[in-house]
A and B are shown apart, each in its own frame.
Chain A
């Protein structure tokens, strides 16, 4: 496998070299980077032209200039990277520009990718389990629509409806009664489709979920929750119960007493810790506090699992670990929501909570919690815009992958052994169905590092994509090549990783 990886990487480095040469020439023939200066009547323009011609070696033909650039790149191996200067960014060294852009691109992509994977796999699997139902057809149609959505069109709609109008709604939160009823009907219908089963069960699910939605939404409106959203102890308890119920129903099932006990201990721990933690959050709002608490979350789950786990200790530790971290997440949401009103006071009047420009509010006052709320408000829309296309694709993939696995012999064997349907799906089918998805995700990440050019442009996000766009608009060769170098390399590396992951997860595949 190592020989395979080395051979592949070596071959791809050669390919990358050839491709970079082509890209260099293509960009170079696109036009003259000094065109604007040449037309300028400014007396200093001549000096500037002479200076830039020398700095960028513009008097050398592009074919030879490429090798000058390549020599700078080669310097990276001896610790002296020189990717040139980016004229379009005030002669900033390309390396510096790339470093800043990488950070913000990774920030943007991480959340979008996670959202797309989790939701896509969940929706895709649920449609596979309800194949050829009304729910399946509806979701299939929706995925086709999402897949055909031009992202630049969708993003502009998002800006209007998701930001401007939603902020206006938050300023004056009123939903007419018929709208609430409509939302409740829709939620009820969705749950009815997902749960399926006999007509009696479907009717019950429809009534219960629809009714619950109606009552909770209406009461939230009545108590003015949208004006000052908060969780409080009640919300945290409710959130913990929901989180635990989901995780338990997916892992061990409610019949497992040991799991229930361990969960009760973990959730109880966080509820007791909630009040003292508020002091910690107030006095030490630092990143490492959160990291320590995540470690605590895992530790508590480990302890609870070891004490109550008995024979299936490993499984219970894993499941309670997930619950523990999720409940901790609920506590964080509660803490962030506490700064909601203060945050609204310090941001510019015109801008609501949901922002459409950039990665953060410049010169934001306040501690980490403000920064978190601010970051969330900025991330929300680009994340939706970015993830909607891949969400649709992952849904399709997960659906077809699970369907294929469910017809395999080992699934029939598992059923014949008398295993519970949950165990058959989550242990036997799900894990095998995930193998192709893992490789697909690896490819996607490799391709996405290039930056989401359109999304970044619409939401004024300073990432790799916007650098690339800027470089091309200004015909800034060094900048374009810098971005290409990183994206090409990462894409190639993830390509190899995807191949290796595929072989590692599925022993039937051999790498040669």
Chain B
């Protein structure tokens, strides 16, 4: 009895906040499965067909009339690439992947009517979609945290101006941004699309960060830092930001799962990443008419897309439980592509509650 008690106390004594969070996260089975799946998919897509370094990574037709890539390509272990036509192995291009006997064959995910290898296409699509997702995640975090922190810490007219500016950005439909990239910059590269979208999608996060800063700046440790002579920059980044990190991480994760669905939706509609360039949404859009005759063209990209979005949602859920076991929020997804608006408004709602 006494033994277990002392053990328990020893257990409690040495656990830091970070360790507590890590433990809670590791206990969340769904989140761990999500992390593993995401790592697996990322590694698979980047090692299999190789990466393109430098340049835009876009396809173009060179002088000899063949497709070429803008940039230097490091080949991967998969023998086919995503833009050349190959001889059709199975009639109709059906997948060579079989469970009994277990075999991958030449084209495990099948081929399209021209003989393109679907495995290579899907892998390249995943690369592009993941790139967009991560870039949007980083961009929105940086801008959102900066705007939210400045507005929340300084308050006053700066806050009003920044928040009205946020309101303006929120109402702009995402589809228009896609159209600008798609039409004015003739497709642009995946990186460019992500960069451009990231410039506009930070609004929800900035409102959440602002609300968090508004309440944290009134706490004693901030006063203590100020009395000790710390400047605003130091207080914001060294004292308040670490305390708001939970909100930021959780919402960035959820935003990333929304971002990959957004990119694929835009590409599906013909904005964003367009043919001959590849993304998961573009592949699905290209092959949607073929569903009844060649369903494998359609199953694989969709399956990977769902797997990615699902893993990230589970990771986000695990992170939220780990950072704040009480709080359970879930953002509503809408099909209107005005989703940024909705989530941002909801972000403000969270802020209102925090003030209460």
- Taking Cβ atoms with an 8 Å cutoff, the residues of A that contact B are 11-12, 14-16, 18-19, 22-23, 26-27, 29-31, 141, 144-145, 147-153, 156-157, 159-160, 164, 385-386, 389-390, 392-394, 396-397, 400, 439-440, 443-444, 446-455, 457, 465, 468-469, 472-473, 475, 480, 484, 487-488, 491-492, 495, 498, 508-509
Q: Which of B167, B183, B298, B309 contacts A30 (CB 8 A)?
A: B183
Highest count of chain A CB atoms <10 Å: which of B164, B306, B334, B349: B334
The 7 closest A-B pairs by CB, nearest first: A148-B309, A396-B330, A19-B171, A153-B302, A450-B336, A393-B332, A148-B310
Does B264 sit within 8 A of A, measured CB to CB? yes
Report the Cα distance A285→B196, complex, angstroms.
55
* B8 contacts chain A at the CB level, 8 A cutoff: no
Binds A, one of B11-19, B65-73, B150-158, B339-347: B339-347
CA distance A367 to B269 in the complex (A): 37
Docked complex Cα distance between A498 and B257 (Å): 26
B110 to chain A, nearest CB (A): 17
Give complex CA distance A484, B352 in Å. 27
Residue of A nearest to B336 (CB): A450
Chain A residues contacting B331 (CB-CB under 8 Å) are: 393
Stretch in B100-108, B233-241, B281-289 touching the partner: B281-289
How far apart are the CA atoms of A12 and B345 in the complex, in Å?
13
Considering the complex, give the chain B residue whose CB is closest to the CB of A32: B183
Question: Across the interface, do B335 and A160 meet the contact criterion of CB distance under 8 Å?
Answer: no
Q: A56 to B342, alpha carbons, bound, how many Å?
A: 33
Question: What 0/1 readout, one digit per residue, does chain B (163-199) give for beta carbons within 8 Å of chain A?
Answer: 0100111011101110110011000000000000000
Interface centre among B332, B336, B337, B356 (most CB of A within 10 A): B336
Known contacts A148-B310, A150-B281: A389-B180 contact under CB 8 Å: no
Which chain B residue has the least Cβ–Cβ distance from A483? B173
B338 within 8 A of A: yes
Can you add 19 more A-B contacts, CB < 8 Å, to A26-B172, A393-B331, A448-B334?
A15-B167, A15-B168, A29-B180, A30-B183, A144-B314, A148-B310, A150-B302, A151-B265, A153-B306, A156-B288, A156-B298, A400-B329, A440-B346, A446-B342, A451-B336, A453-B269, A454-B268, A491-B338, A508-B356
A-B contact pairs, 8 of them (CB 8 A): A31-B184, A150-B265, A393-B333, A443-B332, A443-B345, A444-B334, A452-B336, A484-B173
Q: Does B296 contact A (CB under 8 A)?
A: no
Q: What separation, in Å, do the CA atoms of A263 and B217 have in the docked complex?
A: 59
Q: What CA separation (Å) do A301 and B275 show in the bound complex?
A: 61
Q: Mark B242-283, 1 if CB is under 8 A from A, else 0.
A: 000000000000000100010011001111000000000100
B313 at the interface (CB under 8 A from A): yes
Interchain CA distance A473-B342 in the complex, whole Å:
24
* 8 Å CB interface, B297-317 against A: 298, 302, 305-306, 309-310, 313-314, 317
Contact A390 to B332, CB < 8 A, known contacts A156-B291, A468-B173:
yes
Residues from chain B with a CB closer than 8 A to the CB of A27 are 176, 179-180
A15 with B291: CB separation less than 8 A? no
Query: Which chain B positions have C-beta within 8 A of A444?
Result: 332, 334, 342
CB of A385 to closest CB in B, whole Å? 8
Chain B residues lying within 8 Å of A156, measured Cβ to Cβ, are 284, 288, 291, 298
Cα separation A12 to B268 with both chains bound (whole Å): 32
Assembly CA distance A51 to B317 (angstroms): 57
Q: Judge whether B328 is part of the interface by a CB distance below 8 angstroms.
A: yes
Contacting pair B292 A160 (CB below 8 A)? yes
Residues of chain B lying within 8 A (CB to CB) of residue A472: 175-176, 179, 271
Q: Across the interface, which residues of B come within 8 angstroms of A451, CB to CB?
A: 336
Q: Within the assembled complex, what's the spacing in Å between the Cα atoms of A145 and B303? A: 11
What are the residues of chain B within 8 A of A390 when measuring CB–CB? 332-334
Residues of B within 8 A of A439 (CB): 349
On whether the beta carbons of B338 and A487 are closer than 8 Å, the reply is: yes
CA distance in complex: A389, B183 (Å): 30
Neighbour of A448 across the interface among B175, B306, B336, CB < 8 A: B336
Instruction: Enumerate chain A residues within 8 angstroms of B288, measured Cβ to Cβ.
Output: 152, 156
In-complex Cβ contact of A469 among B175, B305, B310, B341 (8 A): B175
How far is A23 from B330 in the complex, measured between Cα atoms in Å? 29
- Distance between Cα atoms of A456 and B241 in the complex (Å): 43
- In the complex the two chains form, is A15's CB within 8 Å of B171's CB? yes
Q: How far is the CA of A393 from the CA of B331 in the complex (A)?
A: 7
Residues of B within 8 A of A389 (CB): 332-335
* Complex: chain B residue closest to A143, CB-CB: B330
Q: Considering the chains assembled together, what is the distance between the CA atoms of A11 and B163 in angstroms?
A: 11
Give bound CA distance, A93 to B330, whole Å: 41
Q: Provide the bound-state CA to CA distance between A480 and B172, in Å.
A: 12
Known contacts A447-B336, A451-B336; is A393 also within 8 Å of B180 by CB? no
Cβ–Cβ contact B341 & A491, under 8 A? yes
Q: Which residues from chain B contact A150 at a C-beta distance below 8 Å?
A: 261, 264-265, 268, 281, 284, 302, 305-306, 309
